[in-house]
Amino acid sequence: MTILITGASRGIGAGLAAHYMSLGEEVIGTGRSVAAQVQLDVTHPASHTEMAETLGDRAIDMLVCNAGVYLDKGDDLETGYGADLWAQSFATNVTGVFLSIQALLPHLRRAKAAKIAIISSQMASHTRAPGGSYVYRASKAAALNLGRNLATDLKPEGIAVGIYHPGWVQTDMGGDTAEITTDEAVRGLADRFSALNIETTGCFETWDGRAHAY
C-alpha cells in the first residue's frame, strides 16, 4: 500500500509516517522544508502541481490530509482574530486540503478502493461551542463540510472519505498538557483509517472510534 501524508515532518503526521513505515508500507511524506521527502506548501497551487508531477503515474492507495495550523490560539475577541489569520488558516486548513485532493485524484483513481482521510477536529462540530478560537473552529468546520461533500461526489468512483478528530494530542499544537500522546493518537487513527470503506464514507469519527456529531 502506498500512503501519502501531508504535513509529515512533525507531530501526528510524523507519527503516522513512522507507524506505516514500521509495517512495511510505502510512505510518501510531504512538508514545506527542503528536507522533506516531497516538498509541498499546501497553500500554493503550483506546489501541488509540482508534487503531482513528481509522483508521475504512481497509484496512491491512501491520502492523509494532515497539514494544518492553529494560529489564533489565545486571541481575544476585542483585539485578536486579524484578517491575516483568517486568510492563512483557511489557506492551509481548507483550501490546502482541497488542492491536495484535487491534485492527487488521478493517483487515487489508479488505486483499488482508495481512501482519503481528512484530519479535522472536534472543534469543527456545532455541538461544541464554548467560545473562542473562532478562526481555527471555522476552518476545521469548513474542512468537515468539504470532506462530507467530497464523500458524496467520490463514492461512485469507489473512493472513500473519512473525517477525523485526532484527540487533544501532546504535540507543538496541542501542548504538553494535552490528554493523549502522539503514539495513542496514531494508533487510534490508523485503526480508523483501516476501518474506512465505501459504506462508511463521509464519517466523522474520533481517534478512539466514536462517531462524532456534525
pLDDT averaged per 10 residues, the chain (length 214)? 95 94 97 89 97 96 97 93 97 98 98 96 84 94 97 98 84 61 91 97 92 76
Domain boundaries, the chain: 2-206
Give the pLDDT score at 36.
85
Give the pLDDT score at 169.
65
DSSP labels for the chain? -EEEESSTTSHHHHHHHHHHHHTT-EEEEEESSTTSSEE--TT-HHHHHHHHHHHTT---SEEEE-------TT--TTT---HHHHHHHHIIIIIHHHHHHHHHHHHHHTSSS-EEEEE--GGGSTT---S--HHHHHHHHHHHHHHHHHHHHHGGGT-EEEEEE--SBSSTTT-TT-SB-HHHHHHHHHHHHHH--TTTTT-EEETTS-B---
Using CA atoms, how far apart are residues 2 and 200, in angstroms rounded to an integer? Answer: 21
The whole-model pTM stands at 0.93
Residue type, position 44, single letter? H
CATH architecture observed for domain 2-206: 3-Layer(aba) Sandwich (3.40)
